[in-house]
Structure 1
Amino acid sequence: MEVDKQVRLASRIFLAGFIMGTAVAGYSQTPEQTRTRPVLRSTGVYAGSQEQPQQPTNKGSNEIDEGSVVRVNTSLITVPAVVMDRNGRYIANLRKEDFRIYEDGVEQKISYFASVEKPFTVALMLDVSGSTQFELAQIRDAANAFVSRLRFNDRVMAITFDGQIHVLSEPTDVATIRRSKLHIPPVTDGTVLYDAVDFALKRMAQIPGRKAIVLMTDGVDQNSHASLKSTLADIAEQDVLIYTVQYNTLPQLSQRLSPIKNEKARRKVQARLMQGYAVSEPYLRALADKTGGRFYRADDLREVGPAFEAITAELGVQYSLGYYPKENSSAGAQRAIKVRVRYPNMVVRARDGYTTAPIIARKTGGN
């Protein structure tokens, strides 16, 4: 009897040991559960490793861009820039780390960088109003010469304006424009310069990538609904370069006014046009200066060609920088921008600031 009890006890001990060993072995063969990286929750920018970050559960608050850049409740500010030496020669082949960008005196982290090889979309705007009716052939030839100097991978949107706005071509590759040439429609009375600028700004805002507006005009507006002040305010919210080429039509003013036989009416029209001429150059300079472009004056249409040549050369050596502001902005806030390079004796030309649009302000506020 005692022997039987010892046998049964030994059997139970053996069975219990076998079961525990099997359980331990099974646990050791179970793969370790993969740990999940924590999701970044910040108003800044995270340029992480090449591993993909976990998708946030609240898709409305976070956005994941290419290159593992996570952007949370903020908007990218893009700044086109041109770098020259003290002799005016353009500097190419600079790298992202060669630039420093400041907003209201605070250095920002450069999150986007495009070098000179990137193509441009150019809106070519031609004033073909009554003030230019004696030079339309030269304007057309200058425009076609400008297109011929662009690179094949650039795109062109051609616009003319007089009393109306005419879109000669939607953004189209340069090769197609060169084959078809630009044809100017019949001229109508009036000059809707400010309306045309407003139209071009809105259209260019819908186009991604690097972009520029090249505006050729005498700078005199007559019939626009938009105003000088409104268009200058609008460019503060844009990331487009504006190059202005002003040609002088004042010598032809008396010839243009000669069909008006009533002297009182003629003087009234002349006084209004002279007011337009007085503000024309300051307006065109402001468009260029505020966007980082350049103003050119051509007293003779023969000088337009060299101006266009200089613009196309400059477009070929542009840089585009982008950053997410470290501080949130309220609606309509004015922010100053300064771009520098780390090398001495170099000059950087870039937009000098921007105004926060209401929709951007709401986003940066976390709404």
Structure 2
Amino acid sequence: MKATFMCFMSFMVIALDLSAQQPQFRTGVKTVPVYATVTDRAGRFVTDLAKEQFEILDEGKPVELTQFSNQFVPITAAIMLDLSRSMLPRYDAVIAAAEQFIVRLMPGDRARVGSFSEEVRMGPPLTGDRDALIKFIRDSFDLRVGMRTRLWDGISEGVKALDGIDGRRVVFVITDGQDTWSEVQMDDALRMARKAGVLLYWIGMTGTGGPELRPQIRPNAGLRSFVEETGGGYMRFAEIDEINRIMTEVAQELHHQYLLGFTPAILDNRLHKLEVRIRQPNYTVRARKSYVAEQ
């Protein structure tokens, strides 16, 4: 616990120094942002690579990298909480996970909280006030608790909440991964996320811990592919005391991804396949797998 705390505090100092000097991508222009996470064989983040060690393929063809940064980058997040019947035994764990993510927001970060069950309810507008966000999620009257699960609707509303925002945008969903009542289909939600360039991070409440965390139903298989397609991440925990470690890992990853950018050769309003490669043995890179070449 002490090592995790010291790592987090060091991270805070770095963030304070760098948050005011970060390059920003604007949506709707011709530069396509690609956020890439690089890890070594042990799963440790690699943050000191140079621009020349990356390659992006657009529909199988190499493109010139016109933007590159490996510095701290602020995030804007929609934190979506699954409070449907299957998650009620884990309610305290859901709130604890959300709190631990919020306290790791850095200067320049902003977030908005939403919850979903048989309805989707979005909280107050985006803010960087961590105390206000925590106060909101601790009041059960602010959240939407119910019987059914509108997972895809919840993710879609999270994407909409980030519409028109510059920079790195993340939908952070805490769920067992089951959908039972959505009006929006998974493919439609994924299409929205692709078009907006939003990353999806899924914190799964599965495992073999106490009864409050033991899964009751299998997660939707499409959610994992959704995460991979957007270049986001998936983590799960089996014990409540793992929350601090996992949230620290998520925060470090989000703030230390490489920021790559390129100009498309053609704007044809079509979905383009992307592949990010790294010219470095023994390293693994994770990034979005597609973008829409909008005019």
Q: Same fold (TM over 0.5)?
A: yes
SS at match of 1:205: coil
> Is this contact kept in 1: 2:179–2:220, CA < 8 A?
no
Q: CA deviation at 1:249?
A: 9.8
Q: Structure 2 unaligned segments of length 5 or more: list them.
A: 1-22
Post-superposition CA distance 1:313-343 (Å, at most 9, x none): 21121122121112343x4x33221222343
Q: CA deviation at 1:175?
A: 4.0
RMSD value, Cα: 2.9
Structure 2 CA distance for partners of 1:345 and 1:143, relative to 1, 3 Å = same
Per the alignment, residue 93 of structure 1 pairs with: 48
Post-superposition CA distance 1:17-49 (Å, at most 9, x none): xxxxxxxxxxxxxxxxxxxxxxxxxxxxxxxxx
| Deviating 4+ runs (over 6 angstroms) | 249-252
The answer to which structure, 1 or 2, has the higher relative contact order (CA under 8 A, 6+ apart) is: 2
Structure 2 CA distance for partners of 1:104 and 1:151, relative to 1, 3 Å = same
Task: Output the CA distance in 2 between the equivalents of 1:117 and 1:230.
Answer: 32
SS at match of 2:79: strand
Normalized against structure 2, the TM-score is what? 0.77
Task: Output the CA distance in 2 between the equivalents of 1:328 and 1:209.
Answer: 21
Per the alignment, residue 314 of structure 1 pairs with: 253
Post-superposition CA distance 1:105-156 (Å, at most 9, x none): 2111222334331211122111111222222223212211221123233211
Q: 2:119 aligns with which of 156, 164, 179?
A: 164
Per the alignment, residue 140 of structure 1 pairs with: 95
> Is this contact kept in 1: 2:111–2:128, CA < 8 A?
yes
Task: Output the CA distance in 1 between the equivalents of 2:191 and 2:130.
Answer: 35
Structure 2 CA distance for partners of 1:281 and 1:328, relative to 1, 3 Å = same
Would you say how many aligned residue pairs link Structure 1 and Structure 2?
262
> Is this contact kept in 1: 2:112–2:127, CA < 8 A?
yes
Task: Output the CA distance in 1 between the equivalents of 2:249 and 2:76.
Answer: 17
Q: 2:38 aligns with which of 80, 83, 86?
A: 83
Q: CA deviation at 1:303?
A: 4.4
Per the alignment, residue 235 of structure 1 pairs with: 193
Structure 2 CA distance for partners of 1:235 and 1:178, relative to 1, 3 Å = closer
SS at match of 1:138: helix
Q: CA deviation at 1:310?
A: 2.0
> Is this contact kept in 1: 2:36–2:285, CA < 8 A?
yes
Per the alignment, residue 64 of structure 1 pairs with: none
- Identity, in percent, stands at 28
SS at match of 1:134: helix
Q: CA deviation at 1:281?
A: 4.0
SS at match of 1:237: helix
Q: CA deviation at 1:196?
A: 0.9
Per the alignment, residue 118 of structure 1 pairs with: 73
SS at match of 1:226: coil
Structure 2 CA distance for partners of 1:166 and 1:302, relative to 1, 3 Å = farther
User: Which one-letter code corresponds to 2:109 in the other structure?
Assistant: D
Task: Output the CA distance in 2 between the equivalents of 1:197 and 1:237.
Answer: 14
Task: Output the CA distance in 2 between the equivalents of 1:231 and 1:178.
Answer: 25
Task: Output the CA distance in 2 between the equivalents of 1:192 and 1:143.
Answer: 19
Per the alignment, residue 55 of structure 1 pairs with: none
Per the alignment, residue 262 of structure 2 pairs with: 323
The answer as to 2:283 corresponding to 1:346 is yes
> Is this contact kept in 2: 1:246–1:284, CA < 8 A?
no
Q: CA deviation at 1:355?
A: 3.9
Per the alignment, residue 290 of structure 1 pairs with: 229
Task: Output the CA distance in 2 between the equivalents of 1:229 and 1:218.
Answer: 19
Task: Output the CA distance in 2 between the equivalents of 1:178 and 1:190.
Answer: 25
User: Which one-letter code corresponds to 1:298 in the other structure?
Assistant: F
Task: Output the CA distance in 1 between the equivalents of 2:106 and 2:61.
Answer: 37
Structure 2 CA distance for partners of 1:168 and 1:328, relative to 1, 3 Å = closer
Q: Structure 1 unaligned segments of length 5 or more: list them.
A: 1-66, 68-72, 253-273
Structure 2 CA distance for partners of 1:233 and 1:153, relative to 1, 3 Å = closer
Q: 2:203 aligns with which of 229, 245, 254?
A: 245
Per the alignment, residue 219 of structure 1 pairs with: 177
Per the alignment, residue 4 of structure 2 pairs with: none
Structure 2 CA distance for partners of 1:343 and 1:80, relative to 1, 3 Å = same
Task: Output the CA distance in 2 between the equivalents of 1:74 and 1:136.
Answer: 41
User: Which one-letter code corresponds to 1:167 in the other structure?
Assistant: M
Write the mapping of 1:36-115 to structure 2, written as runs, cut at 5 A. 75-115=30-70
User: Which one-letter code corresponds to 2:237 in the other structure?
Assistant: A
Normalized against structure 1, the TM-score is what? 0.63
Structure 2 CA distance for partners of 1:239 and 1:98, relative to 1, 3 Å = same
> Is this contact kept in 2: 1:235–1:290, CA < 8 A?
no
Task: Output the CA distance in 2 between the equivalents of 1:300 and 1:232.
Answer: 30
Write the mapping of 1:268-283 to structure 2, written as runs, cut at 5 A. 277-278=217-218, 280-283=219-222
Task: Output the CA distance in 1 between the equivalents of 2:201 and 2:59.
Answer: 26
> Is this contact kept in 2: 1:168–1:182, CA < 8 A?
no
Post-superposition CA distance 1:158-217 (Å, at most 9, x none): 111122222233221144446746333362332221111111112223211112121111
SS at match of 2:137: coil
Worse-superposed segment, 183-192 or 120-129: 183-192
SS at match of 2:73: coil
Structure 2 CA distance for partners of 1:302 and 1:163, relative to 1, 3 Å = farther
SS at match of 1:172: coil
